[in-house]
């Protein structure tokens, strides 16, 4: 029973998070610059990080960003039709979190606090709050 409760090594979590976020970035048709900006990486770092051979170490902030962005993806998939869910991130938005900006730009500009705020906003929409 103890083996089932043993936490995964950070390297495994990082690899899984990067793989999942890479798929999200593809689904959202993000440019390298957008995908990197959401992760708080340079373009060249993102290009390396999304490969299976990446051996770098992500910061806690970057891991939290990956987790929240994957959660945003899931919320969008549950709330909207598949086509709209994948386009939503790049559509100008007049919602309270975006002030007319595209969500991707608002989150890049606002960093982790904005990403978490958008995640909360979408979860509230989906939950009817």
Query: Per-residue pLDDT tens for 26-61?
Result: 999 999 999 999 999 999 999 999 998 898 899 999
pLDDT of residue 5: 56
**What Rg, from alpha-carbon coordinates, does the chain have?**
15
Q: Which among 2-11, 47-56, 96-105 has the top mean pLDDT?
A: 96-105
**What predicted TM-score, i.e. pTM, was given to this entire model?**
0.88
Average pLDDT value for residue range 81-108: 95
């Amino acid at each position: 029973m103890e083996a089932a409760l043993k936490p995964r090594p950070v390297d495994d979590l990082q690899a899984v998070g990067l793989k999942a976020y890479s798929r999200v970035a593809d689904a959202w048709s993000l440019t390298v610059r957008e995908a990197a900006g959401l992760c708080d990486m340079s373009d060249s770092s993102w290009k390396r990080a999304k490969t299976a051979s990446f051996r770098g170490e992500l910061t806690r902030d970057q891991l939290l960003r990956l987790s929240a962005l994957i959660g945003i993806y899931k919320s969008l998939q549950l709330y909207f039709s598949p086509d709209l869910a994948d386009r939503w991130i790049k559509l100008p938005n007049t919602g309270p979190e975006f002030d007319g900006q595209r969500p991707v730009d608002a989150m890049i500009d606002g960093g982790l606090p904005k990403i978490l705020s958008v995640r909360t906003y979408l979860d509230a929409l989906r939950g009817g709050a």
